[in-house]
Amino acid sequence: MRAWYAKLNRPTRLAVWIMGGICLWMATGLFSSGREGEKDNTSLRDKREISARIGIRLSRAEPHQRSIALNGVTEPNRVVGLKAQTAGPILNFPIKEGNQVKKGEVLVEIDPQNRPEQLRRAQALVEQREIEYKASQRLAKKGFTTEVRYAESKTQMEDARRELKQAQIDLSNTKIRAPFDGVLERLNAEVGDFVGVGVFGGESAIAQVVDPDPLIIASSIPQTDLPKIQREGDVEVRIPGMELMHGRIRYVASVADNASRSFRVEVELPNEGYKTAAGLTAEIRLPLETVQAHRLSSSLLGLDDAGGVGVKTVDENGLVHFRTITILDEDESGLWVAGLPEQAWIITQGQAFVNDGQRLNLKKVKREGQEAARTTAKDKPTGEE
């Protein structure tokens, strides 16, 4: 080989080197072209696999009762401050703070002092005046007494009866009783404190009793939703950390608040056994009018170029449409939306791979119930699959 190369002149040697370089370059380009072709084929396969991941589901509109969620705080049904109606030192508190009480139970005992003796004297005086009146009545019938004397005896008897009644009330007022079933929430006095009629020190009430059954949840509803309220409907009540509860509307204001132009609404929540405390934050969901709506998962929602919220659908010709929707409500099952036709095929899988106006080649569509169907995407302008 070397002897053959040595016999070649300089121009011939140069030509050999050039030809060898050209052959090497062509061989390198061939292998490179093969790898690029392999990459193109892989990319094409990826596109076809992506286009085959489009899924659709038939959605039908259903009657749905709209609702509006409002925030509020649980409040007791009634709160009463008990005041003294007679004067004297406090003798005893038969029931402790925080305990449940029944209507009529004694909560505060005031020292009766000499009131029992005053009652006995009033009873004796009534007996005396009644005897005197009866005697005067017999004498008046026989004409042995004047009409003035007879009238005086009757007046004296009636005055004695009034004094007896007042003595009975005064003695009864030494025991302050629960006005209804509830909870003795607070005591503002101590044994031995002297109380006056209606006032005790800086407090006007000796004790406070609350009625926590039912609880009341107060909130405000906008004037636009006021005509839509279903006042007889069930009201869902959610309190953090507790199970879902149900109440009813008991009051809707007929005059709007001057500042907010909203209307006060009160929901009554049964609270048997006083298991739920007052003062808790709560969410109430008031029933509104019934409308036709679709129930969708929030994962199906997307945005158009203008920022509108909607979903992608497919019509009978395979065309993709972006349909703007209005979200009406949200619950555990998903979103309730308006803005779709009575029946609509919703793209549930691969929404990101199709665009508004694109045509789908529907290979297999099962138009029953809510079943998903597999399709392949076909771009409308180019026609490439």
Q: Show me where the domains of the chain are located.
A: 51-64+292-378, 68-75+211-290, 84-110+175-205, 112-173
Pick 68-75+211-290's CATH classification: 2.40.10.10, 2.40.30.170, 3.40.50.10330, 1.20.1440.230: 2.40.30.170
User: What DSSP state is assigned to residue 200?
Assistant: B
Q: What is the DSSP letter of 137?
A: H
Tell me which residue of 284, 214, 250 sits closest to 70, measured CA to CA.
Answer: 284
Tokens of 53: 């991941």
CB 108 within 8 A of CB 82: yes
- What does the pLDDT read at residue 56? 83
* DSSP-assigned letter for residue 190: -
Which element (helix H / strand E) includes 110? strand 106-110
CA atoms within 13 A on the CB side of 273: 1
Instruction: Please give the pLDDT value at position 21.
Output: 53
CA-based torsion, 367, 370, 376, 377: positive or negative? positive
Q: Please identify every stretch of the chain with a pLDDT value under 70, giving residue numbers as ranges.
A: 1-53, 198-203, 361-385
Pick the CATH number of 84-110+175-205 from 3.40.50.720, 2.40.50.100, 2.40.110.10, 3.40.920.10: 2.40.50.100
Backbone angles phi, psi at 11, to 5 degrees: -60, -35
Hey, what CATH topology would domain 112-173 get? Helix Hairpins (1.10.287)
Question: Spelled out in words, what is the top-level CATH class assigned to the domain 51-64+292-378?
Answer: mainly beta
42-60 pLDDT tens trace: 444 444 444 446 788 889 9
Residues 6+ away with beta carbon under 8 Å from 324: 304, 308, 309, 310, 339
Residues 6 or more apart whose CB falls under 8 angstroms from that of 267 comprise 72, 216, 217, 218, 219, 235, 237, 247, 248, 249, 250, 284, 286
Give the pLDDT score at 135: 87
pLDDT, position 210: 94
Provide the token pair at 94: 């038969």
Model pLDDT, residue 292? 92
Compute the distance between CA of residue 318 and CA of residue 54 in angstroms, rounded to an integer.
12
Helix (H), strand (E) at residue 247: strand 245-252
- For 262-329, the DSSP string reads EEEEEEEE--GGG-SPTT-EEEEEEEEEEEEEEEE-GGG-EE-TT--EEEEEE-TT-BEEEEE-EEEE
Separation between Cα atoms, residue 265 and residue 280, nearest integer Å: 17
